[in-house]
Amino acid sequence: MAAAVCVRSPLPPKLPQLLERDPYLAPFETDFQRRYSLFYNHLKNIEENEGGLDKFSKSYKTFGVNQLADGGIYCKEWAPGAEAVFLAGDFNDWNPFSHPYKKMEYGKWELLIPPGQDGCPLVPHGSRLKVVIRAQNGDLLYRISPWARYVIRDEDKVNYDWVHWNPPQSYVHKHPSPRRLKSLRIYESHVGIASPEGKVASYKNFTYNVLPRIKDLGYNCVQLMAIMEHAYYASFGYQVTSFFAASSRYGTPDDLKEMIDVAHSMGITVLLDVVHSHASKNSEDGLNKFDGTDSCFFHSGPKGTHQLWDSRLFDYANWEVLRFLLSNLRMWIEDYRFDGFRFDGVTSMLYHHHGIGTGFSGDYNEYFGLHVDEDALCYLMLANHMIKFLHPECITIAEDVSGMPALCRPVEEGGGGFDYRLAMAIPDKWIQIIKELKDEDWNMGNIVHTLTNRRYEEKYIAYAESHDQALVGDKTLAFRLMDAEMYTNMSVLSPLTAVIDRGIQLHKMIRLITHALGGESYLNFMGNEFGHPEWLDFPRIGNNESYHYARRQFNLTEDHLLRYRFLNAFDRDMNKLEERFGWLASPPAYVSEKHEANKVIAFERAGLLFVFNFHPYQSYVDYRVAIFKYKILLDSDDGEYGGHQRLDHSTEYFSEEYPHNYRPNSLLVYIPSRVAVVLQNVDVPKGSSL
């Protein structure tokens, strides 16, 4: 069913506030109006034709195969290109024609299987099923329902099988979701690699071995990758085949529900890395050619294929695609109790060119015009509107490299409705600096600019590195800094070489300045907090299907003879300090110093003074900083963090009435080379703006 476009639509009610905040957007006012009009008309049509967004997004309870209260089984599919549809499986000895669906309007098909004489369902829990499609050319196609909740792959098979999941007693959540966080400290995670062992780890392992570690490190949010079922493990979860199924390679749906419940009991928010930007091109166990045509769920022809990812692209203007995707989000929230989403590949969604071969300079003309896929943008607006309307405590994050204005502003302003966006320029900047520049050539102004260059009143998630840098073909910060010496010189029994010393000190400084200056939230990929050695590489033909690099060696931090524990301890105390003072939820920092010759950066945030001396060898005995009386709260040079213990934490320092960097008082401090210090101001005079 196509959504009719109304002639008149209301304007974004709060658009004037957006344009007042950023006058440079004024020439594009009609673009915002058109986008909002498309959103409004979709919403209005859903209200008129589907009984509202609430009912529309609950379609996962009627589509697919669902058990009724009386034990009957109700089946429903959307297959507009099919000539006939049947259900086959263990329950009917795989007879492809005994259970035909009835054709409905708009390409839908339904089937009701009454309960048995004993009142029990004829399709029992754990039985295998297939939707049988008679294509337009007469071929019979055996397909997995797009709405399947559980799929498995036997070791001797290539493709996944659909298993009806309807246990007599499903997992019951015991703990409420945490309250919406003000400061978001995210631990980006992958369940399958979350073990030192060379195997696919389980939900149970993550629940009982990894969640306590995350809690101890001071992270209050876990972002789970590769949960939506994907046939190819090495795709890192980005080639989804079954959108409503939790990956069975880690365990059962109930195992995942328990994992999320235990996280909630620890006060940890759980986000799902949701992939609605594309889908696997698999047809035997994926969405592709579900009804025998290339246009079911996706654009037909070249427009429906991503050139670089070799995957299928959704048709976001299609009514049933909207139903499918919105219901998918609703299911993950309400069945599994996820607390929000990180939307992957948003840049690919926003533009018809998908960001391929396109650089973004920040010119506003790059974000408006015919090259913008406003159908995809409208879907994202609908998704965020639905989530905020039904579950206002949920969080949404956009992975967008383009920097589209207003993506993280409310829909009523004409924005995309996201809460946060990833600050994707920051890790690229650190890579460029470490790779191309000598330490003495680091540009303090350029570092500060990259960390603070974000849109006013749009929240950013800062990170020094993510899973992207950990993958084979790239390098983590630790590996770039220390490289081959990580294999030989990370033991405290070996001499502290210049390379290892430099790597450990800069690793801490880079992460702290990114954490404190780079945004309104912070993200770390699992293992990178302690400088996990080597790279991440999933089993594949090119590495002889080895799991050696598809694991996280958490045990390295527990060996007191290894220097990894220093980085781990610093990361923990950095997070604990943020938890105490809440700088991520505070207004942006006031940068008081970025001295090129001295390689010193100083800034104030949340009542704290952060001082960084990036100079490779120059320490400063009497360095003037703008501050009142202070005490040291965090010192990267502390011996507990693998530092050289050059600062005396018992000393109290008092300022003098000597104006410096627009502050009335200042004092002289000792700042060793390659050291970051966090100072708490005490006895601040009344009326000071510090």
| Active site residues per annotation | 344, 399
Counting Cβ atoms within 10 Å, is residue 26 exposed (0-12), middle (13-18) or buried (19+)?
exposed
**What SS3 class is residue 621?**
strand
Cβ–Cβ under 8 Å, residues 634 and 508: no
Q: Calculate the dihedral angle through the C-alpha atoms of 171, 172, 174, 175, rounding to the nearest 10 degrees.
A: 80
β partners of residue 678: 610, 634
Alpha-carbon gap, residue 281 to 645, rounded angstroms = 56
156 Cβ neighbours under 8 A, 6+ residues apart: none
Alpha-carbon gap, residue 73 to 480, rounded angstroms = 56
* 61-75 residues labelled b (16+ CB within 10 A) or e (exposed): eebbbbbeeeebbbb
Alpha-carbon gap, residue 288 to 297, rounded angstroms = 8
152 Cβ neighbours under 8 A, 6+ residues apart: 160, 161, 163, 248
State the alpha helices, DSSP H only, in 51-191: 53-56
Alpha-carbon gap, residue 398 to 340, rounded angstroms = 11
- For residue 318 the two structure tokens come to 């299609």
Instruction: Tell me the CA distances in angstroms from 100 to 62, 133, 419, 678, one per residue in order.
Output: 17, 10, 45, 69
Looking at this protein, which amino acid is placed at residue 380? Answer: L
Neighbours of 370 (CB within 10 A): 7
According to the 3-state scheme, what is the secondary structure of 526-581? CCHHHCCCCCECCCCHHHCCCCCCCCCCHHHHHCCCECHHHHHHHHHHHHHHHHHH
Instruction: Tell me the CA distances in angstroms from 322 to 234, 303, 318, 372, 515, one per residue in order.
Output: 28, 18, 6, 18, 37
Alpha-carbon gap, residue 418 to 421, rounded angstroms = 7
Cβ–Cβ under 8 Å, residues 668 and 627: no
